[in-house]
Amino acid sequence: METIDRVAGMSRAAGIFRREGRTIGLVPTMGSLHAGHLELVRVARARADIVVVSVFVNPTQFAPGEDYETYPRDPERDAGLAAGAGADVFFLPSVAEMFPDGFGTWVDVDGITGVLEGKSRPGHFRGVATVVIKLFNIARPHFAVFGQKDAQQVAVIRRAAGELNTGVEIVVVPTVREPDGLALSSRNAYLDAGERRRATALRRSLDAARDLVASGERDPAKITGAMARVISGSGPAAIDYISLADPDTLEELTALRPGAVVLASLAVRIGRTRLIDNELLTVD
């Protein structure tokens, strides 16, 4: 595996790979790699000639007061894990090169960025979409791999990649979980033992939603109400949102129609840690 830390070096390498007719798969991450990220790398490995894993803690997607400064960083460990999962290139650009002083070109995706995560984290998806399009232009992938864990991010990237004619295929990988159902996340490291136990409530609330839909419940308010009761029954936790929405438009649903695929999602603060999770439910 080759480590590249300069934008020009990555562009040059991508140009060579392209001229050689090799397929490039990109896995964008913020590092602190866990088994969820590594599953994305393995999916990329299975279908690309060249797998590029980028690690960039993107300051533009953190709102003021969020955890940009304290976000866990360990590039040496990440490089070993990425290599072990089959990465060919480990791309580690600097903030100074990605967002130099005076940077002023942004990717704003209308509509779907104002709800759910976007409502709680103003500017978040502008930062995400901008850095992902920059990474596409630098690494020139044929496809890029993202996790279902960040369902709204998938919707935003799909829109931006399509509407800006990047030609990059967006590949989505199911959420990787701990044995007790907690979705793997770099932020799980912030949880103390009691919080870690309570954090399983997110998965359990999604199970409750799935069971209710399977048993014929079609009233979104009753389903989100049941999800909220699972969270509040688990101990101190602040619900940011609980949502049943269309997975593409992210519009809240007022009824569940037969055959529909519904994105059940939630964000909950446990202690000082904000956790998200989601599941796609099919209405039979």
Least distance in angstroms from the C-beta of 275 to ligand AMP: 11
Cβ distance to ligand AMP smaller for residue 157 or 262: 157
- The encoded tokens of residue 201 equal 């409530």
Catalytic site residue from 34, 37, 124, 142: 37
Query: What's the min distance (Å) between Cβ of 60 and ligand AMP?
Result: 13
37 flagged as catalytic = yes
Q: Which residue has the tokens 């502008």?
A: 126
The secondary element (H helix, E strand) that includes residue 281 is strand 273-282
Place of tokens 């397929």: 23
Shortest Cβ distance from residue 184 to ligand AMP (Å)? Answer: 4
Task: Tell the smallest beta-carbon distance from residue 67 to ligand AMP (Å).
Answer: 12
- How far is residue 117's CA from residue 274's CA, in Å, rounded to a whole number? 11
CB nearer to ligand AMP: pick between 166 and 175: 175
- The CA distance from 62 to 251, in Å, is 24
Please count the other Cβ atoms lying within 10 Å of the Cβ belonging to residue 229: 12
Query: DSSP string spanning 135-157?
Result: HHHHH--SEEEEEGGGHHHHHHH
**Closer CB to ligand AMP, residue 173 or residue 281?**
173
**Nearest residue to ligand AMP, by Cβ distance, number only:** 147
Which residue do the tokens 């088994």 mark?
35
Residue nearer to ligand AMP on the CB measure, 159 or 212: 159
Give the interface with ligand AMP as residue ranges (CB under 6 A).
29-30, 36-37, 39-40, 146-147, 149-150, 173, 175-176, 183-186
**160 Ramachandran zone, left/alpha/beta (phi>0; psi -120 to 50):** alpha
Cα gap 53→28, rounded to integer Å: 6
Rounded Cα–Cα distance for residues 45 and 61 (Å):
27
Q: Which positions are annotated as active-site residues?
A: 37
